[in-house]
Amino acid sequence: MSSSKNPVKGIWLMVAAVAAFAAQDGFSRHLAGEYSTLMIIMIRYWAFAGFVIVLALRRPEGPRAAIRSTRLPAHVLRSCLLVAEICLIVWGYTLIGLINSHAVFAVCPLLIVALSGPILGERISWQRWAAVAAGLAGVLIILRPGLGVFSWPALLPLASAFLFAMYSVLTRLTTRDEPTFPAFFWPGVIGAVLMTAIGLPQLEPMVPQDMGFLALYCALSILSHWLLLKCYEAIEAARVQPYAYLQIVFVTLIGLTVFGETLELPVALGAVVIIAAGLYALSLERKPA
């Protein structure tokens, strides 16, 4: 692993990126609550596809070389997983809110650890399995099955976390023997095609104010990914991953102040357990073998 070029800059870029992602989630919660979820995500994908195409055109090796890949079937599968993940999590926002959705979705990094063994053939120590088990216990604290408070929409962010974990593990698999840019480019383009096919029939008129919100939503989608790219140019991904959990803090503030959501004690406790388990798993990743 190479040394960081500018660790302080990288940390602040990660904080800015997760703040932008949180704001993006806030806009998606509002827009998908007023209009078709599929339409909103389709337009978001159009903006993101335009972003990755512009990046490809500016690559020094040329666009064709930049997007060339021998793993297109894997990229199609990853694109389908990502489309399904985004649709489920945004749907979850409209049904159980930002705070509850993100509290459950926080288990995603631990699911990545669990899936890395069977899919990537990585050795998973008992400490990592213990972290995964603790994270799942945190999910149970949030969902509270058997206490009369569980509802099926709470499964949406959990399913979304599993799909994104699958997407992430397959991304690591596809980037083992080829550059990372095709793995970034193809989900944006293929996802836009998929979302157009399923979202175009859901197209409906919008009031002018919400069209402005939609424009901001698309701009935040591009800005958040741009900030993340710049972050990883300045510092190794492993060193800034703990700061990614700040997204839960930002989302909670948006949920409380903008949407009038409530932070229930079991949700807060469960989220703390999941985050602690995730940070512990991350500390194990950073230890030398």
Taking alpha carbons only, the member of 111, 99, 133, 122 closest to residue 265 is 99
Q: How confident is the model at residue 146 (pLDDT cuts 50, 70, 90)?
A: low
**What CA–CA distances, in Å, run from 151 to 120, 142, 156, 224, 271?**
34, 11, 10, 31, 18
DSSP 234-272: HS-HHHHHHHHTHHHHHHHHHHHHTS-----HHHHHHHH
- In this prediction the pTM is 0.88
pLDDT tens sequence across 49-107: 999 999 999 999 999 999 999 989 999 999 999 999 999 999 999 999 999 999 999 99
Contact 244, 22 (CB under 8 A): no
Q: At what angle do helices 37-57 and 208-234 cross, to 10 degrees?
A: 40
Assigned token pair, 70: 């021998």
pLDDT tens sequence across 215-253: 999 999 999 989 988 888 888 777 788 888 899 999 999
Q: Is the pLDDT of residue 190 over 60?
A: yes
**pLDDT (0 to 100) of residue 196:** 97
**Within 10 A of 65 (CB to CB), how many other CB atoms are there?**
12
Q: List the domain boundaries for the chain.
A: 7-285
The whole-angstrom separation of Cα 150 and Cα 52 is 40
Q: Helix, strand, or coil here: 287?
A: coil
Q: What percent of the chain has pLDDT over 70?
A: 94
**pLDDT (0 to 100) of residue 287:** 57
**What CA–CA distances, in Å, run from 97 to 142, 148, 226?**
14, 19, 26
**pLDDT (0 to 100) of residue 1:** 41
Q: Is the pLDDT of residue 151 over 90?
A: no
